[in-house]
Amino acid sequence: MYCICCKRDNVTPYDEMTNNSYSEEELLWGTEKTKDGRIRTINNRSANDGIIHMIDAGYGSTHDGDQFVIAICDECIKENVQDGTLLYWGNYMGFSDISEDDIQKSKMTYRRRKNIDKLV
């Protein structure tokens, strides 16, 4: 899938359970019910070399209720976190000793960028 930042086809979805027997299109738009009743979408599948995820437009957007699938490659993630365009929120896998420092760095970068923008 194409990265939303660099526009290169860098991020590849795959299904670790079926060894990628699905096409990229099937993985991006597919919805599948598992044996244990869970629903599998691109949000809970894996991706190589970046992140692929659905985002929801909330109230206030001209796209209220719309859902979009976006991808961002690892290289662009690193670059955009460093300049405060992408904000680090945490690590859902429980690596809290690392993520708290990263959260504080992200907040500092965000504040610095916002203050510079206000001055300019």
Q: What is the pTM of this model?
A: 0.81
pLDDT for 71: 98
The predicted pLDDT at position 102 comes to: 86
- How much is the pLDDT for 17? 74
Q: At 79, is the pLDDT very low, low, confident or very high (cuts 50, 70, 90)?
A: very high
Q: Are 110 and 87 in contact (CB under 8 A)?
A: yes
13: burial class by Cβ within 10 Å (0-12, 13-18, 19+)? Answer: buried
